[in-house]
Structure 1
Amino acid sequence: MQATFLIYSFLYLIVLIFLLPFEYFKRPASLRKRWIREKFGFFKKNEQIETFKPKIWIHAVSVGEVVAVSRLIKELSSKCEIILSTITDTGQKIANDRFKNYNVKVIYIPFDIPFAINKALKHFKPLAVILTETELWPNLIRIASKKMPVILVNGRMSDKSFNGYSKIKFFMKPLLKRLTLLCVQEEQYKERFFNLGAEEQKIHITGNMKFDIELREIHFPWENAIAQPVILAGSTHEPEEEIILDAFLKLNITGSLIIAPRHPERFQAVETLIKRKISESSREISFSKLTEMPSAFSFKSSTSVVLVDQMGILGSLYRICDIAIIGGSFIAHGGQNPLEPAYWRKPIICGPFMYNFPFIEEFLNHEACIMIDKASLLEILKELAENSELRQTIGNRAYQLFLNKSGATEKTLRLIEKVIP
C-alpha cells in the first residue's frame, strides 16, 4: 500500500507542476501570496488560533459545501476552534463572511503532498479532520488517520465518481478503511461506499445537511419597485443565460428576470450578453446590475433584467422571486442546489441534468418541482407566470418536502461526539 501512495504522490506532483502557474495567476493579485504559501502548508505564527480549546479541521471545497455544513460548523465552534479549509476563492469569501463572528479560521487546503499536509497538521494540531461530501484526499486521510479520527460528513457518491473509483478499488479500499466514520446522505451512497471498501459498521445514513440551511431574510429597498412576476435564474452556467434570456424575452409579458451566474469571473461576459439580447429585442427593457441599484431605484420600463454581480446573497434573493430556475441543470453539470427556493416556498424549474441531487426524484414524484428540457422552458414559464395559484401550490409542496428532510446536522453531530474524544 505504501508503494501505491508513493505512485499517487508522484503523479500528483507531475500534474501540479503543470497546473501550478495557471492556478496561481488565475487568482487576484491580492490573494496570490497567501494562496501559494498556504497551499504548501506554510502558515504564519499569528495565524494559529491561540486558545486552549481543541481544534477541528473541516474541509469544504467551495460555496455549496460551506453553506451545507454551516450549521455544523457553528455548533462545533461553541466547543472547539474550527480550521475551515476550502479550495475556491469564492468558498473563502463566503466562509469568511459567514463565520466572521465565530471561532473559525479560514484557510486554503494545502496541496495533497505529504510535506504540505504534515506542515499544516503540525501547525494547527487538530483533534480531528472532517471532510465533506466526496473530498477524499488520499495523503490527507493517510497521514491524519495515524494520529486522529478522520470523518466524512454529508457524504455522497455520484454515478460518475463511483464508476471511476471502482476502477481503482485496490487503492480506494484501504483508503476508505482509514476513515473513522462516514455520515452519508442516502442509502444508495451507503451501498457505494461499502462496495468500494468502507467498513459497513462505520457508515451511517444521516440525510442531506443541505436541508438544514439557514437563510437571512434580507429586505431589498428596490424589491417593491421591480415588475412582477419575478423569475430568478440562480447559479447559472454558460450557455444557460442565453437559453433563459431567449425564453424570457419571448414571453412578451410584464415582469422581471434576475440572473445570478454561478462564478463571479463570468459577470462581465453575462452583462455583455444581456445588453446584446436587449438591443436585439424590439421591446423596451430595463437593465441593471444589482450592485448599482440604489435605495430609490425605479425601473424605466415594465420589463427588466437584473444581473446579480454579488456573491453570498442568492439564497436571500429567492425570497422575492415568483419562479425559480435552477442553474447547472440545462447542461451536463449536474445541477445546483434547489433547496434555497424550496425554503422560501417558491416553485422550482430545473433542466434534465440534476444528478448531483438525487433527492430531486422525490420532489418530482410529489409534483414539488418541474423538470423540463430547454425547448419547453418558454411554455412552462408562461404557464407559471399566468397562474399564481399553481405557483403557490408547487412552492408549498417543495417547502413541505424541505421540512420533512431536515435534521441531518443533528444526527451527524451526535455521531461525531461519539468518535471525537
Structure 2
Amino acid sequence: MLRLLYRAWKAPAYAARWLERFALFPQQSLNKPIWVHAVSVGETIAAAPLIKSLQQRYPERDIVVTTMTPTGSERVQALFGDSVFHVYAPYDLPSSVKRFLRKIKPEMLIIMETELWPNIVHCTARSGAPVILANARLSERSARGYQRVRFIAQPMLRGLSRIVAQNAADADRFKLAGAEEGRVVVSGSIKFDFSIDSSITTKSHDLKLQWGKNRPVWIAASTHQGEDQPALDAHKKLLKQWPDALLIIVPRHPERFKSVYQLCTRAGYKTAKRSSKDMLDETVQVLLADTMGELMLFYAAADVAFVGGSLIESGGHNPLEPAALKMPVIMGPHIFNFEGICHELSAAGGLKFVGSAELLADRVGEFFEDEPYRQEVGLAANVVVEANRGALDRLLSEIDACMLPKT
C-alpha cells in the first residue's frame, strides 16, 4: 500500500481503481475464460498478436487481460476495447488471488515473459487451470536471484504446466532454477511476430513534411532517467555538423514527460510537444513525444534509433520495432531484458553498441553521413526480424496441448 501511494504521488493514474488490485470488482459472467497477464506496455504489445489469435482460435471463450500498470491498461483498452474483459491483476495476496479466481473462474492462465507471482501460480494451478509462461525469458541476473530463493522459486516453477522459452539459454536457466525439464520448451520470441499498421507510412510521411522532408532525424526511444541528458548532449554535438538535425525523445514513463520537457528547454533547445500539437517546422530541434501509443509512428519518421533503458542498468527495451522498419539500431551496454535478440541483431550487423553520450553522437553521425551504410545496417536488422517469425504458431500449439477438454 505504501508503494502504491508513492507511485500515485509520482504518477496520478495509479490513484485510480485501487479496489481492482484486491480483486474488488463486480462478479463477472464469462464463458470458459482464458486469462492473459501482461505486466505493462511492452508485454501488452507483445501479447497483442497472441490475444488476437486466441480470439480467432477459441471464439466461444472470453479473454481476460490483466496488467499491473496504468500505461499497460491504456494499451489494452486502445488495442482491444470491449472485446476483452480487462482489470488490474490482483496483488499476490492469497485472499485477493482467491477472490479473483472465484469471480473470473479462468480455465487457463497465460503469463507473459517473467511476471511470476507465487500465490497467483499456486492458486490458479490448484484450481485445476493450466498455467503457461509464454515468451518466457530469464536473465542471468534474475536466475541468480531465483537460486537465492530456490525454496520459493522451485515450487512456483513446478506449478507451471508449460514454460515456453524464447531461446535455449532461457530454457536452461529455468531448468537450473527448478523447473521440470519435460515442461520446458523453446519457441523463439513472439515479439518477432508483430505486424506494422499500414497507415504508419502515410502518417510518418506527413510528419516529415511538417519538419522538413530531408532533415536528418534520430530518435531516443523509451528513455529512463539518466538517459535523457546523454541524448541531449549527443544531439548538441550532432548539431555542430548537422545544424538542421532533429531529435525525437520518447520518455518511457508518462510521469516524466514534464521533467524531460524542462530538461530540453533548460538546455536551450527549441522543443515542441506532440501533445500540444506544436508547430513542427524546420526550427524545432527537439520533439518531445509525450503521447501514448505512437512509438512506431516516431520510429517510422526517423532515420536512426537509439533504444533506451540500456545506458542505465534497466535492461533495455525492444529493438525489434525499429529493426522491422529497416532502421539501424543503437543501444547501450545494459541489454539483459533482450540479451539474445540484441546479440543476434549485433552479430548480423543490424545493431551497434555504445557506452556514452559522445559515442552515441559518433554512431548517429556515422549513419547521418553515409546513407548506403545506414541502409545496409537497417536491412541487416530487418533480415533478423523476418528470419525469426513463427514463434507465435509454436506457442499456440503448446497452448492447444494444455487446453482443458471442452465440457
> What is the TM-score when the length of structure 2 is the normalising length?
0.91
Give, in whole Å, the separation in 1 of the partners of 2:11 and 2:335: 29
Q: Which residue of 2 aligns with 1:360?
A: 342
* Pair 1:372-2:369 in alignment: no
- Secondary structure at the aligned position of 1:291 is classed as coil
- Secondary structure at the aligned position of 1:58 is classed as strand
Q: 1:110 aligns with which of 62, 77, 90?
A: 90
* Pair 1:222-2:202 in alignment: no
Give, in whole Å, the separation in 1 of the partners of 2:10 and 2:235: 33
RMSD between aligned residues: 1.7
Give, in whole Å, the separation in 1 of the partners of 2:370 and 2:281: 24
* Pair 1:56-2:34 in alignment: yes
Q: Which residue of 2 aligns with 1:413?
A: 396
Give, in whole Å, the separation in 2 of the partners of 1:185 and 1:167: 23
* Pair 1:193-2:204 in alignment: no
- Secondary structure at the aligned position of 1:99 is classed as helix
Q: Which residue of 2 aligns with 1:333?
A: 314
- Secondary structure at the aligned position of 2:275 is classed as helix
Give, in whole Å, the separation in 1 of the partners of 2:4 and 2:298: 36
1:161-310 equivalences in 2 (<5 Å): 161-216=142-197, 217-218=199-200, 219-220=203-204, 221-227=206-212, 228-251=215-238, 252=240, 253=242, 254-278=244-268, 286-293=270-277, 297-299=279-281, 301=283, 304-310=285-291
Give, in whole Å, the separation in 1 of the partners of 2:232 and 2:53: 41
1:37-56 equivalences in 2 (<5 Å): 37-45=19-27, 48=28, 50=29, 53-56=31-34
Give, in whole Å, the separation in 2 of the partners of 1:342 and 1:263: 22
Q: Which residue of 2 aligns with 1:128?
A: 108
Give, in whole Å, the separation in 2 of the partners of 1:238 and 1:39: 27
Contact 1:235 1:326 survives alignment (8 Å) = yes
Contact 1:286 1:299 survives alignment (8 Å) = no
> Segments of 4+ in structure 1 off by > 4 A?
23-27
Q: Which residue of 2 aligns with 1:5?
A: none
Change over 3 Å in CA distance of 1:333–1:369 after alignment to 2: same
1:370-409 equivalences in 2 (<5 Å): 370-374=352-356, 375-409=358-392
Matched residues, percent identical? 35
Q: Which residue of 2 aligns with 1:348?
A: 329
- Residues 83-110 of structure 1: per-residue CA shift (max 9 Å, x gap): 1111111000011101116x31111111
Change over 3 Å in CA distance of 1:344–1:115 after alignment to 2: same
Give, in whole Å, the separation in 1 of the partners of 2:345 and 2:384: 7
Contact 1:39 1:110 survives alignment (8 Å) = yes
Contact 2:98 2:123 survives alignment (8 Å) = yes
Q: What is the one-letter code of the residue matched to 2:227?
A: E
Runs of 5+ unmatched residues, structure 1: 1-15, 279-284
Give, in whole Å, the separation in 1 of the partners of 2:86 and 2:249: 29
Change over 3 Å in CA distance of 1:249–1:27 after alignment to 2: closer
Q: Which moved more, 1:403-412 or 1:259-268?
A: 403-412
Q: What is the one-letter code of the residue matched to 1:43?
A: F
1:15-54 equivalences in 2 (<5 Å): 16=1, 18-28=2-12, 32-34=15-17, 36-45=18-27, 48=28, 50=29, 53-54=31-32
Q: Which moved more, 1:261-270 or 1:303-312?
A: 303-312
- Residues 309-339 of structure 1: per-residue CA shift (max 9 Å, x gap): 1011102321111010111111111111101
> What is the TM-score when the length of structure 1 is the normalising length?
0.89
- Secondary structure at the aligned position of 1:293 is classed as coil
Give, in whole Å, the separation in 2 of the partners of 1:225 and 1:42: 48
- Residues 116-165 of structure 1: per-residue CA shift (max 9 Å, x gap): 11111111111111111111110111111012111110111111211011
Give, in whole Å, the separation in 1 of the partners of 2:207 and 2:219: 15
Give, in whole Å, the separation in 1 of the partners of 2:366 and 2:115: 41
Give, in whole Å, the separation in 2 of the partners of 1:300 and 1:185: 43
Give, in whole Å, the separation in 2 of the partners of 1:391 and 1:23: 41
Give, in whole Å, the separation in 2 of the partners of 1:136 and 1:417: 22
Give the C-alpha shift of residue 171 in structure 1.
Answer: 2.2
Change over 3 Å in CA distance of 1:317–1:400 after alignment to 2: same
Give, in whole Å, the separation in 2 of the partners of 1:26 and 1:355: 26
1:6-21 equivalences in 2 (<5 Å): 16=1, 18-21=2-5
Give the C-alpha shift of residue 25 in structure 1.
Answer: 4.7
Change over 3 Å in CA distance of 1:33–1:266 after alignment to 2: closer
Contact 2:211 2:282 survives alignment (8 Å) = no
Give the C-alpha shift of residue 22 in structure 1.
Answer: 2.6
* Pair 1:158-2:147 in alignment: no
Contact 1:77 1:104 survives alignment (8 Å) = no
Change over 3 Å in CA distance of 1:277–1:20 after alignment to 2: closer
User: What is the aligned length?
Assistant: 389
Give, in whole Å, the separation in 2 of the partners of 1:175 and 1:350: 34
Give the C-alpha shift of residue 402 in structure 1.
Answer: 0.5
Give, in whole Å, the separation in 1 of the partners of 2:282 and 2:326: 29
Runs of 5+ unmatched residues, structure 2: none
- Secondary structure at the aligned position of 1:275 is classed as helix
